[in-house]
Amino acid sequence: MINHRNNTKSLVIFPAYEVGYSELLHFLKSMEKNNLLNRLLLICPADFFNVHQVQVPFYIIDDFKAHPALVRKIEAWAKSNRRTFTGIIGVDEEEQFKLSKRIARRFKLPFYHDRTCSTASNKYLLKTAFKEHGVLTGDFALFSGLDDPGIERVGFPNVLKVLSGNGSQYLFRNENMEQLTENFHILKAAVRNIKGDPRFRKQHVFIDGQAVVLNPRRQFLLEAFTDGEELSCDFVTCDGVVQVVRVVRKIKGPYFGYFKGYHLLNEMELGQYNIDLQQLKELCERIARALAIDTGQTGVCMVDLKVQGREWSVLEASIRPGLSAFNHLMYEIYGYTSLFLMAKQRLGMPIDIRFPQENGAVVYLYARPGEKIQTIDSSSLESLKQTLHIVHIHFYEDTGNGAADTVTDHSALLRGYAILKNIDGEKLPELADFLNEALTKMPPAARNLFEKRFLDFPKLLIGGNDTNE
C-alpha cells in the first residue's frame, strides 16, 4: 500500500468545475503559501491561465463538457508523469457530483455515497433529510402547480426556487397568492426551453423506499420564508468529528437572494450575534448525519441558515465549501481558504482550525439596472483605501460584456467587490451603499458634495480614526 502522506509523487485531483476565478486563485495561493501546490493536479478551462499568470506545476486544460474524455486525459497524464492520486476535491454540485464520482471510481479514490450526492444536490431531498434528522428548517413542499395542497401547509410569505444548483438564480419571494401565481408562471417559462444546463436534468432518486423521478423543469421547491439574520458557515468533518471553519454574516442586498456583502466574524463577534460555537458545532453534526457523512468519511461542508434571537433555521447545505467572494476575504484573514482544508484532508494531512482575532468584510459593487458598463473608474475607491481599511479592490473580468439583467438572474449587475479588514460590522450596510456611490460617475457639483461627505463618514464607521492622514 502506498503511504500517500510521505509520497510527494501522489497528488490530489481538483476538477475546478464552475469555480470563479477569484475563488480558484486564492485556493491556489493557499496551496502555494503552504508548500503544497506541487501536490495538486488542477483541471480547469484554458482562459483561467489567460487571466491569471499562476505557476501551477501540474494541470490539465478541459472545458468539462465530455466526462469520459476527461477521465481518459487524466489516465494518460498520470501514466506519462508516473503519478498516483490520494483523493479528489469534488465541487460539481450542479452536475450532482457525477464528474467527481466518475473520476473517483476510475482511480479507486474515496468519495461520498450516491445517496449523499443526491441529497446534497437536490433541495427537496435535503429538506426531507433535515426533517428526518432533527435539523430545524422551515415548512416546505414539492411544488408543481397552483392547485398544489402544499401551498396551504407552507403558507405566506414563502420562497419559490428550483430543485438543484446553487447561487441566487431562479429565486422568488411571494407575499401572497397573486405574487406566487405570477412568479410561478415566470419561472416555468424561464426554465422550459433551457438546454445543456445540468441543473435541469431529471434525477432518479429513492423517497421512502420508492424509486422516483424528479423533474426540475416541472417541479420546484416551495418553502416557508424564515426571517432573521442570514449566516453561512463551513465545517470540517473527519470520522464523525466536526469542527466549524468560518462563520459569515450576510448583508441583505438590492435583490432577493443577492447581498450587499459578507462579514467574516472573528471569535469575539460570534457572541454579539447570538452564535454559540458549541451549539453551531452540534447543529453541523446533525447536518452531517442528514447528509450521511457522519462516520468513516471526511469532507468540508457548507451551511446557510437564519438566526433570530436564539432560534436557528437551516436553509441549505452542501458537501462542498461555500464558493463566493468571501474565499478571497478568508484568505486575507485566515491565510487559507476552505478548499485548502479540503485538499489537506485528501492528502491525508491533519488540519488545525482557530478563529482569527481580526475580522473582515466583502462589499459587492453593483451596476444599476440598465447601466452600460464598458470601463470602470476606480479612482474614488482607490483614494479611500487607507481611510476605510480597504486591502483589495477586484473587478470581474467579464464586466461590460453585455450580459443582461433579468427577472430570474441579477448576477450581470455584479461588477466587482472590495475587501476590508477590521471594520464595524453594524456599519457594514451603510458602508456598502457608500462604496457603491463612490463608484458611480457624478457631475462635478455632486462630486464636490460627495468628497466633503466622505471626509466625515469614516469617523462614524470606524470610531474616530483620523481621516486627514
Q: How far apart are CA 74 and CA 169, in angstroms?
A: 33
Average pLDDT over residues 177-201: 91
Confidence of residue 452 (pLDDT cuts 50, 70, 90): low
Residues 457 and 463: their CA atoms lie apart, in Å, by 10
For domain 139-224, the CATH superfamily is ATP-grasp fold, A domain (3.30.1490.20)
Q: Is the pLDDT of residue 6 over 50?
A: no
Mean pLDDT score of the chain, rounded to an integer?
Answer: 87
Which grid cell is 349?
A: 494531512
Give the pLDDT score at 354: 86
For 149-163, how does the pLDDT look when each residue is reduced to its tens digit (9 = 90+)?
999 999 999 999 999
Count CA atoms closer than 13 A to 70's CA, side-chain side: 26
Q: What is the mean pLDDT of residues 207-228?
A: 91
Q: How far apart are CA 266 and CA 354, in angstroms?
A: 10
Which residues are within 8 A (CB) of 332 and not within 5 positions of it... i.e. 6 or more apart? 360, 391, 392, 419, 421
Distance CA 26, CA 41 (A): 16
**pLDDT at residue 468, as a whole number:** 30
Q: Which pLDDT tens digit goes with each residue over 363-401?
A: 999 987 766 655 566 777 787 788 888 999 998 866 545
108-132 pLDDT, tens digit per residue, is: 999 999 989 999 999 999 999 999 9
Amino acid 128: pLDDT: 95
pLDDT at 260: 95
- Positive or negative: CA dihedral 446, 428, 161, 145: negative
Placement of cell 461590460 in the chain: 400
Please report, for the chain, the start and end positions of each structural domain, with discontinuous segments joined by +: 139-224, 361-463
403 versus 347: which is more confidently predicted?
347
- pLDDT 10s digits, 404-440: 788 888 888 888 999 999 989 999 999 998 888 877 6
Residue 272 has phi, psi (to 5 degrees) of: -65, -25
CA distance 123 to 318: 10
The pLDDT value given to residue 402: 52
pLDDT digits 0-9 by tens, 11-60: 999 999 999 889 999 999 999 999 999 999 999 998 887 766 678 999 99
3-state secondary structure 6-65: HCCCEEEEEECCCCCHHHHHHHHHHHHHCCCHHHEEEEECCHHHHHCCCCCCCEEECCCC
Digit-coded pLDDT (tens) for 282-340: 999 999 999 998 767 889 999 999 998 888 999 999 999 999 999 999 999 999 999 99
Q: What is the mean pLDDT of residues 180-187?
A: 96
